[in-house]
Amino acid sequence: MHFIRQATTVLFSAFALLSIAQTNIQLTSSDVADILAGNYNPNDYISDSAISDPHLIAANLSTSIQADSLKSYLFKLSSFETRLREVELSVAAGASEIDIVITRQHVLTGNWQALYDETRAYRQACGEAHMKTILATGDLLTLEHVAMASWACMMAGADFIKTSTGKENVNATLPVALTMVRTIREYAERTGFQVGFKPAGGVSSAKAALQYLILMKEELGIAWMQPNLFRIGASSLLTDIERQLEHFVSGHYSAAHRHAMP
């Protein structure tokens, strides 16, 4: 019983560490709001014919989207200067935290100076805002690459290093997390500066969250188990934590569809 109570306390702690992406979206179209609420007829959205050729799909999108909207944004997306400007505008609009994604090519080609310079430029654009640097570790191929990328980003001024966007084929894993956490520990020992850690994607159960909490406790200590230095990015995790806590109280698991985020 004592162990169960301890586990329950830890699960409550996980609530404070849980970071749910994109909860601040505002809908500006009543049509979109109706569709998301399920108030639509699916037959209205069935195409007369299926298009599977990716080149044809891209061509149709390019000709159908107005130049001053998404098409313009997509064309400019590869511009580093544009991304820096977007960060500056976000900070000017009041953003207190900024997530940036590194260029994986710098890592895969061993161009650590380019990675440092890129991250440093983002750091300067963020100003006083908190900067979380996403390594997209599922694309980096080796743990050595993960460690080197972590070092470069921390030296360039990252406040947090984050495993992934959650959209890669491979997201947060314990071997990757251990690698990143140990670079954080060594960086803190050498510089005295504390960098936060955020595993994102793939942490979908309370048991998985406990593994990451234990990892932080064993490798970095209690200080790194607070939200200012550790967060978990996984929207689906919230439901499982709620279900585990309800089981502790009632002895029964609730159905996932009873929760806000199944």
Catalytic annotation, residues: 99, 162, 198
97 bridge partner residues? 130
Phi-psi region of 136 (alpha: psi -120 to 50; beta: other; left: phi over 0): left
CA distance linking residue 19 with residue 21, whole number of Å? 6
Amino acid at 196: G
CA distance linking residue 244 with residue 241, whole number of Å? 5
H-assigned helices in the chain:
2-17, 30-36, 54-64, 70-76, 80-92, 104-108, 112-126, 143-155, 174-191, 206-219, 237-250
CA distance linking residue 94 with residue 228, whole number of Å? 19
CA distance linking residue 160 with residue 134, whole number of Å? 8
Q: At what angle do helices 2-17 and 237-250 cross, to 10 degrees?
A: 150
